[in-house]
Structure 1
């Protein structure tokens, strides 16, 4: 499958400079793109190499202009390139059928063109919108509501009362609405605290593989519009993740914490419970967050500190043995001087 450059430019909302009839057969990285390939130059180092590139077409920023090359100009070349990938690799068509090997509960209501694969389980009083695709091995509990254009990949578990919006993707092995981690100690043993709430996932969310999102103790755990999570993310009971925030692999968020909008939490960062993380906060990898963070801050380290301070601390750490030796030498010299008087 291929497209003319004019078709690609129109599909991604870019401005074409070059041959509109140039036929593009594939997408490639900048370094390996050939005569009938399209690529993108997101960095200045790649832009500088465009005259020597063999690529048939290159997506660039609106500022770039190079004579004799086929260019598609876009405000953000990386986003435009993502749209080209979607154009060349669309989701397969929905079969529009329910497998006879699927288990469907009572009072199941659904919209147009849904697909439920073999060995999937759908509980009682479940509602689907249009164009919902459920892969093999999926478990959907009772009283679950799912919007339109949702993809649920194999071996996902969606527990009772979960609410899922439209255009949501849930990747392999994720568990949504599992029981929260709550136990009351009496000095001898732990007594289980039932979690009777639910999980709400808003529109345009993508959940990575093997995530665990616990339901609320009371009320809800809430993943708001546009949130993206990587693989192996843990979100505890009654957590709220604000709109268009990103949680990278192995992030863990303890119960009842709130993440603001457009936040980025890097890999293996941990956030303690009952904290408030502001809007547009960036948390560095492996950071340990033990206090509230105001909006707009960039923090790193464990315990967390401003990122610039963390950089200074990390430059000093390898020198600590040497600094300790110098301090010991100075201490010995000072003691010798004092002993003379």
Structure 2
């Protein structure tokens, strides 16, 4: 819901775009500190936060402009409807169970014992392994892979190159030789999970690697075997989480965060980019640095590091003064 100001009944909106890219006929959005820049945009109308003082264009004021913009994108740029047919050039095992209104495109593979839910779309070269269960309204883009015995909830999106259920990195080392340990578990993805391109989620050695409902995972992420992520987590690009990590709900791992394995992370935690998590973390924590520490402590550490060169200079001056005093004595 929002309020319309400076409305122009003759105005026609034909597209949605960012402030800099917008042209006449587009609607865009702005939030602080970009409100001033919105005045220079070619956009014909704007979505702004409630309480914003702005004139010069028709505007819609809403509580959350980003969310409103996302809704406008869906309205104006809906993806082309997929033809709901099963290609003769797809490979589908005879005992696979395919739901209603499913699209399976050329060269997609559905192995024996797999179950595909209603309204799911498999793009070319998507692979669904043996005994996999896929829920309703899922989308697997080209070259997405989900291997044997894994379970996928409803409305799950796998971007191109995502690999779900590859073997975990499990070996026994004896006398300098590494012997592979059979990875007998699986991966379970909850409802409304999205997995980015070229992200790998390894199957458990035993039991399940699990990703909770609503969690969103970016490109180029690695989740180790037996990891458990809670609901509504955000995992940004190039994060690497070692095996047997457990994270609560609403945890954010910013870009290039890494962790050791066998640790527990509480609910509502945030880890700044490039944090290195080396131990358990309590609920509602904001950590940064390597090894990761509470953010305020990290800021103090950074301030100290930045003053090291000055401290070294002062120490050298003191050493010089001491040497001069010794010579005088």
**TM-score for the superposition, normalised by structure 1:** 0.89
Correspondence for 2:45: 57
Structure 2, unaligned runs of 5 or more = none
Which is worse superposed, 318-327 or 123-132? 318-327
Counterpart-to-counterpart distance in 2, 1:321 and 1:43: 37
> 1:243-270 CA deviation, whole Å, 9 max, x = no partner?
1111111000001101221111111110
Q: CA deviation at 1:31?
A: 3.4
Where 2:308 maps in the other structure, the secondary structure is: helix
Counterpart-to-counterpart distance in 2, 1:198 and 1:252: 19
Where 2:321 maps in the other structure, the secondary structure is: helix
Counterpart-to-counterpart distance in 2, 1:328 and 1:97: 78
Counterpart-to-counterpart distance in 2, 1:187 and 1:52: 69
Q: CA deviation at 1:271?
A: 1.1
Q: CA deviation at 1:315?
A: 3.7
Correspondence for 2:18: 29
Counterpart-to-counterpart distance in 1, 2:163 and 2:320: 61
Kindly report which structure 2 residues correspond to 1:210-221, keeping only aligned pairs within 5 A, or say none: 210-221=198-209
Correspondence for 1:174: 162
1:73 aligned onto 2:31: no
Q: What do you get for the CA RMSD once the two structures are aligned? A: 2.1
Structure 1, unaligned runs of 5 or more = 1-12
Q: Give yes or no for contact 1:174–1:208 (8 Å, CA) kept in 2.
A: yes
Higher helix share goes to which structure? 1
Match of 1:201 among 172, 189, 198: 189
**TM-score for the superposition, normalised by structure 2:** 0.92
Where 2:74 maps in the other structure, the secondary structure is: helix
Counterpart-to-counterpart distance in 2, 1:117 and 1:104: 11
1:97 aligned onto 2:107: no
1:304 aligned onto 2:312: no
Q: CA deviation at 1:72?
A: 2.1
Counterpart-to-counterpart distance in 1, 2:270 and 2:190: 22
Kindly report which structure 2 residues correspond to 1:224-243, keeping only aligned pairs within 5 A, or say none: 224-243=212-231
The count of corresponding residues between Structure 1 and Structure 2 is 328
Kindly report which structure 2 residues correspond to 1:1-341, keeping only aligned pairs within 5 A, or say none: 13-17=1-5, 18-19=7-8, 22-46=11-35, 48=36, 53-64=41-52, 66=54, 69-334=57-322, 337=325
